[in-house]
Amino acid sequence: MDELEKAILEYVIEEYIEEEDEDEIDMESPLISSGIVDSFSMVSLKTFLERKYKISIPDDKATPEKFDTVKNIAVVVRELTA
Amino acid sequence: MSNMGDYKKTYDDFTWDKAKEILGYRDGDPINIGYYCTDRICEQGMGDKLALIWEGFTGEVEKYTFDELRVHSNTYADFLRSIGVKKGDRVCLFMDKIPDLYFSFLGILKLGAIAQPLFSAFGEEALFTRMEDAGTSVVLTTKKHFRKVRRIKDTLPALKHIVVVDNDTLNLQEIEMSFILKKATKIEKFDSYEADLETPSVLHYTSGTTGKPKGALHVHGSLLCQHISAKWALDLKADDIFWCTADPGWVTGTSYGIIGPWSLGITQVVYDGGFGSAKWYRILQDYGISVWYTAPTAIRLLMKDGTELVKKFDFKNLRYMCSVGEPLNPEAVVWGREAFGMPFYDTYWQTETGAIVITNFPNMEVRPGSMGKAFPGITAVVLDMKTHEVIEQPKKVGLIALKRGWPSMMREYWNNPKVYNSKFIGEWYITGDRSSIDEDGYFWFVGRDDDVINTGGHLVGPFEIESALIEHEAVAEAAAVGKPDPVNMEVVKAFVALKPGFEPSDDLELSIMNFIRKRLSPLAMPQEIEFMEKLPKTRSGKIMRRLLKAKEWGEEIGDTSTLEDD
């Protein structure tokens, strides 16, 4: 896990996961399809990423599929910061 | 050939006695929804037919016949009775769309208790408000959600049991217990409570402009409406495979994700894997869905991914598509034709109406953008905004009103007769929506008549959001309004004035968004926050929410003479 993935995972755990369940999530855990993050909650996650990494994530990259795991989200952020 | 046949003839000849005949109900007989959706279907020789095909987010699939649905709901009813649940007790369902949700819902009804489904993404405050108001005695939940209940249980004196239904290895505390259906003794026979038409069945909470969310109480007799509307408006037939995408935390998910279709012995698909265009197309294709009931927000998201994606799938069984939750824009109706070779049929109803009341019908011309016509048995009109007289003139906008007395009309707002009574003017139930009616009887939606925010097909009350906003440490005063959104129709926008010592910042905005998401729900989370020095108020100090809303919608601000000096 690189620094980017670590930072996103930490944010997801902090904001979306119950403290007792923290050990059950990793960078490949499904977020959207499991209901941990729903389509409305995605907005705050997207806002966090845009602010922290000073990027603008277009709609076609902020899809449920592309935001479904921390690993996938990191791919999107890497593309936009490259 | 559609189930209903000719609309005008059916509408003109309709009586509620005919609905009883169609359901096979005779006056004086018991009418328990749990029984009608399970035991009766088995008695009709369909016990081995598939009732539920469920797919979870990891791809696991479970299938249940009507006989299994009968036994599992019996088992839940028996368990609930064993822990002291009685007729009329409120039993809350707080879980994702897992099979246990469906079994327990029917089990609660079989027992004669009242099912109180709550959206599993609700935060603690939203949960507390609704459980406290209902005096909920038992909540059925899962490991994923039970800690939210645990954190508020001490503030809910009526709550006797928190039951975790998917895990029996948790370190449980006082009033917490587990019940695992697969490990329980199967109850082959359970005598359903002999409900009558007026026995309470389901309590669904909905939001208004002011005050707390209100619990719309329905009765077992609502089945008459849900049964015939599933037959006529959704056109469900014996061989159909039906997919209602709604969550049973909301009324569509119970009236048409459970009651209507199963009372007809229809096989239903439930997908608990969230939204995704390709995923949803795969569900339509792989399970051979023939009738699909979804929401405009989902349709607009699918539209964004284009028709190319649609064409990669084979929907050979799909024959009828309907929509509910908010007005379906004409473009979406037209896109349905282009992508699937058929339009989406818009349906209109509310938590309070319990079943479809205005709709497009399968053999009726669809006029893109129209809500359709009144359902048989429903007298629907528009009333003049000021005089409340019925408007006879075509295309003149008024309040949509329904003549009271149809079987699935809510019977009360729980603990709130004053607000309940305010929803009626004489013989008319006032929906709070505005529309016009054209020369041919088609209704055309215009908008809400209040400040309730319709986001993604769900109503969110601004008062509840504002009350939560001012609990944030930085917020001095706040207003929440609906802002136009191309996908969700509206999203929540908050206007916030900060307390001394706090400055607007990106971090603060995100902090407030997440604060609301966790306390209330993702739906209530402002998707935008505008910081202001102070909010516009009347001279009596009331925040002028409508002025802020008008600004977002680009409307005339109107009379501002009562504004505080600026």
pLDDT digits (tens, 9 = 90+) for B293-340: 999 999 999 998 999 999 999 999 999 999 998 888 899 999 999 999
**Interfacial B residues in 141-160 facing A (CB < 8 Å):** 144, 147
Q: Which of B194, B220, B245 is the last residue in one of the domains?
A: B194
Beta bridge partners of B410: none
- Give the domain extent around A27: 3-81
Q: Would you say the ipTM is above 0.85?
A: yes
Is the CB of residue A51 less than 8 Å away from at least one CB of chain B?
yes
Q: Could you list the residue range(s) of the whole structural domain that residue B478 is in? A: 453-553
Instruction: Give the distance from residue A22's alpha carbon to the nearest chain B alpha carbon, in angstroms.
Output: 12
The reported pLDDT for the residue numbered B565 is: 43
* Residue in chain A lying closest to B298 (CA): A39
Give Rg (Cα) of chain B: 23
Size of interface A-B (CB pairs under 8 A): 69
Q: Which residue of A has its CA nearest to B512?
A: A44
Q: What tokens does A63 get? A: 């899809």
Q: Which chain A residue's Cα is nearest to B456?
A: A40
Closest residue of chain B to A11, computed from CA coordinates = B514
The answer to whether B272 contacts chain A (CB < 8 Å) is yes
Q: Is the pLDDT of residue B79 over 70?
A: yes
Interatomic CA distance for residues B32 and A47, integer angstroms: 48
| B504 domain residue, yes or no | yes
Count: domains in chain B: 2
**Mean pLDDT (whole number) for B213-225:** 97
Output DSSP code: residue A21.
Answer: G
Tell me which of B152, B167, B194 is where a domain ends: B194
Q: Are B249 and B15 in contact (CB under 8 A)?
A: no
Tell whether B309 is within 8 A of chain A (Cβ): no
Task: Give the span between the Cα atoms of B305 and B313, in whole angstroms.
Answer: 14
10 Å CB burial of residue B476 (0-12, 13-18, 19+) is middle
pLDDT score recorded for residue B326: 85
Contacts of residue B174, Cβ cutoff 8 Å, sequence gap at least 6:
none
Q: Do B525 and A65 touch (CB under 8 A)?
A: no
What is the spatial order of strands in the sheet that B358-359 belongs to? B61-65, B50-56, B267-272, B241-244, B291-294, B320-323, B344-348, B358-359, B373-374
The answer to whether residue B564 scores a pLDDT higher than 70 is no
pLDDT at B211: 79
Tell whether B456 is within 8 A of chain A (Cβ): yes
Give the residue with greater pLDDT, B420 vs B538. B420
**pLDDT tens digit string along B103-132?**
999 999 999 999 999 999 999 999 999 999
Among A34, A40, A65, select the one facing B276 at the smallest CB separation.
Answer: A65
Which of these three, B137, B170, B194, is where a domain ends?
Answer: B194
Q: Return all residues near B554 (Cβ < 8 A) that are at least 6 apart.
A: none
Gap between the Cα atoms of B458 and B451, Å rounded = 13
* Chain A: residue whose CA lies nearest to B146: A18
> Which candidate from A18, A34, A40 shows the least CB-CB separation from B57?
A34
Mean pLDDT of A18-44: 86
Residue B425, domain member (yes or no): no
Condensed to tens digits (0 to 9), the pLDDT of residues B430-468 reads 999 999 999 999 999 998 888 899 998 888 999 999 999
> Which residues are B494's β-sheet partners?
B480, B529
- Mean pLDDT for chain B overall: 94
* pLDDT value of position B491: 94
Mutation target vs A (from B166, B490, B510; most A CBs, 10 A cutoff): B510
| B166, B460, B514, B516, best to mutate vs chain A, most A CBs in 10 Å | B514
Predicted confidence at residue B293, as pLDDT, reads: 98
String of b and e for B227-246 (b: at least 16 CB within 10 Å)? bbbbbbbbbbbeebbbbbbb
If one counts the domains in chain A, the total is 1
> What's this model's pTM, rounded to 2 decimal places?
0.92
Question: A35 falls in which pLDDT band (50, 70, 90)?
Answer: confident
- B459 domain residue, yes or no: yes
In this predicted structure, what is the pLDDT of residue A80? 94
- Give domain status of residue B78, yes or no: yes
Band the pLDDT of B195: cuts 50, 70, 90.
very high
For residue B542, name the pLDDT band (cuts at 50, 70, 90). confident
pLDDT of residue A38 exceeding 50: yes
Contact residues, chain B, for A58 at CB < 8 Å:
none
- Cβ <8 Å between A51 and B510: yes
Look up residue B516 and give its two tokens.
Answer: 């609301």
User: What confidence category does residue B188 fall into, taking pLDDT thresholds of 50, 70 and 90?
Assistant: very high
The enclosing H or E element of B508 equals helix B506-519
Q: Identify which of B147, B455, B522 has the shortest CB distance to residue A38.
A: B522
Residue B527 forms contact with A (CB below 8 Å): yes
Q: Please choose, from the candidates B452, B448, B449, B475, the residue with its C-alpha nearest in 3D space to the C-alpha of residue B464.
A: B452
CATH number at residue A63: 1.10.1200.10
Q: What is the C-alpha separation between B424 and A65, in angstroms, rounded? A: 45
Given an 8 Å threshold on Cβ–Cβ distance, is A38 in contact with B121?
A: yes
On whether residue B142 sits in a domain, the answer given is yes
**B500 lies in a domain?**
yes
Does the pLDDT of residue B281 top 50, yes or no? Answer: yes
A51 vs B contacts (CB less than 8 Å): 506-507, 510
Predicted local distance difference test score (pLDDT) of residue B555: 81
Contacts of B276 in chain A (CB under 8 A): 32-33, 63-65, 68
